[in-house]
Chains A and B, each alone.
Chain A
Amino acid sequence: MDVFLSEFFNVDIMVKVAPLIFKGFLQTLLLCVILVPIGLCGGLGAMLLATSRSRFVRWPAVAAIDFFRSFPPLVLLIFIYSGLPFAGIRLSPLAAICIAFLLNAASYYGEIYRAGVESVPRGQVEAGRSTGLGAAQTFLYITLPQAVRNVLPELLSNTVELIKLTTLASVISAPELLHSADLARSLTYNTSPLIMAAALYLIMLWPLVRIIRRLEHKLAG
């Protein structure tokens, strides 16, 4: 038991590495603040393209969404970060992360928005148009709010997935929470820093997971 405690819950080591972990935590928060909004907006764009009336827009958009959904995000990130320099395009780790996860997140969010829009009855659109709203106004004020409400649990749980994805940035040595924790682990030969990181992820995401659980029950019931 003592061995277990000193390996996983070593308070001395935790205190010593706390500043490093905290720095990583702030960088992870920064990543989230950038990635979640661009992912949500990108997803909206992807959905609009994938439901376009013109098949020359719709088919490539659907193909791209399926392509990025079948691509492991880590492979995409490695390809962009360490593949593109061979073609003379050298990106900073942050730029590589943003591009890779935007492509991945927009595809998933796009699919969720599409399911949401399809769940809104056609009568709603017809009613909106017949009161004199334009097509764009109907979409913005009638369809989208109901669509988002219907798929809110899925949107939130994809956001949780996106935040969890930021840990992949540690593989390309970009500064974030898991990278700091893994660095601290290799400096101290002890797993406690990783446990600290795990605890911080739990603090960030557990409340969200509880909210999703609530919403799912409310919408299903």
Chain B
Amino acid sequence: MSDWDRFVSAFLNVNVAARYWPDILAGVAVTVLIGLAVVVTGILVGLGLAVLRSLGNRFANLLIVQAVDVLRSLPPLVIILVIYFGLPNVGIALPSFVVLWLSLSAVLAAFAEEVFWAGITAVPQGQWMAARSTGLTFGQALTSVVLPQAVRIAIPPLTNRTISITKNTALGSAIGVSEILGRAMSAQSFAGNATPLTIAAVLYVLIFIPLVVASRSLERRYAWRRR
């Protein structure tokens, strides 16, 4: 058997692929659903926190900034393991996919808050004053003048961050969520062959390449240069 044949039978084995393909494909639904749930929850909570911060309550802002810093400093896998192994022992048992969703949403919310807040502060003060002087209330000025501009500024950095946090759904395999990687790893050990991992790799690339390419063109479109 030549090297090439050995490589093909280890990584591109058609028999193994045919056998485990449906199971791994079922993991795509889990990965995509958890990913979408994380994106929606994380971004909405992040936006909510940034708006809360713009109200200027000193106590609330201190809490938000510290919480965001902690979530930016902690590795997501540490958060996942603490929640997954710790909470059942104090009487709160959550299914592993809920743990994954909550942990990643919290991490994304922290980053999104930071990005939206940077966007809000980047909108010139004159916009606020003009909006208020035309008779809009604070809330109206925020939602129909400032936020639309802030969100536009926030889109490119937020896209990158969202993609890299969504990719962390693969960490679910460490706590037994049956997403793509988890299923591929167990198929790999059943089959004694690396083909399931190749399938998983291809599926991840199919899911994320369009997002990465889209984020590249978004960045081009909204490119802003310092000074």
Contacts and interface: CB of A to CB of B under 8 A. Distances in A.
B63 interface: no
Nearest to A76: B201
B77 A168 contact: yes
A195 B90 contact: no
B61 interface: no
A209 B170 contact: no
A178 B171 CA distance: 14
B74 A198 contact: yes
A220 interface: yes
A74 B79 CA distance: 16
A197 B11 CA distance: 37
A75 B181 contact: yes
Contacts of A124: none
A198 B212 contact: no
Given A119-B226, A195-B82, A198-B78, A74 B7 contact: no
Q: Which of the listed residues A70, A71, A150, A201 has the most CB atoms from chain B within 10 Å of its own CB?
A: A70
Interface in B20-79: 69-70, 72-79
Q: Is the interface of A mostly helix, strand, loop or mixed?
A: helix
A135 interface: no
Interface stretch (A3-11, A32-40, A41-49, A125-133): A3-11
Given A4-B90, A164-B75, A191-B86, A210 B212 contact: no
B205 interface: yes
A75 B174 CA distance: 12
Contacts of B85: 185, 191, 194
Given A8-B86, A87-B6, A201-B78, A78 B69 contact: no
A123 interface: no
Nearest to B209: A70
Contact of A209 (B73, B209, B212): B73
Contact of B201 (A71, A166, A197, A202): A71
B145 interface: no
Contacts of B143: none
A8 B92 CA distance: 14
B11 A83 contact: yes
Contacts of A4: 90
B208 A206 contact: no
A66 B197 CA distance: 20
A87 B10 contact: yes
B162 interface: no
A170 to B, nearest CB: 7
Q: Which of A72, A78, A163, A220 has most chain B Cβ within 10 Å?
A: A72
A164 B107 CA distance: 12
A206 B10 contact: no
Contacts of A204: 73
Nearest to B203: A75
Interface string B190-227: 00011001101100110111011100100100000110
A83 to B, nearest CB: 4
A150 B168 contact: no
A67 B197 CA distance: 16
A88 B169 CA distance: 30
A56 interface: no
A161 B160 CA distance: 13
B214 to A, nearest CB: 11
A86 B194 contact: yes
Given A82-B188, A119-B226, A198-B74, A171 B89 contact: no
16 contacts: A69-B163, A70-B205, A72-B167, A72-B181, A79-B197, A82-B188, A83-B194, A87-B7, A171-B173, A185-B81, A191-B82, A191-B86, A201-B78, A202-B74, A205-B73, A209-B73
Given A86-B194, A220-B121, 6 more contacts: A70-B208, A70-B211, A74-B168, A115-B219, A198-B82, A201-B73
Interface of A: 3-4, 7-8, 66-67, 69-75, 78-79, 82-84, 86-88, 115, 118-119, 150, 160-161, 163-168, 170-171, 178, 182, 185, 189-191, 194-195, 197-198, 201-202, 204-206, 208-210, 213, 216, 219-220
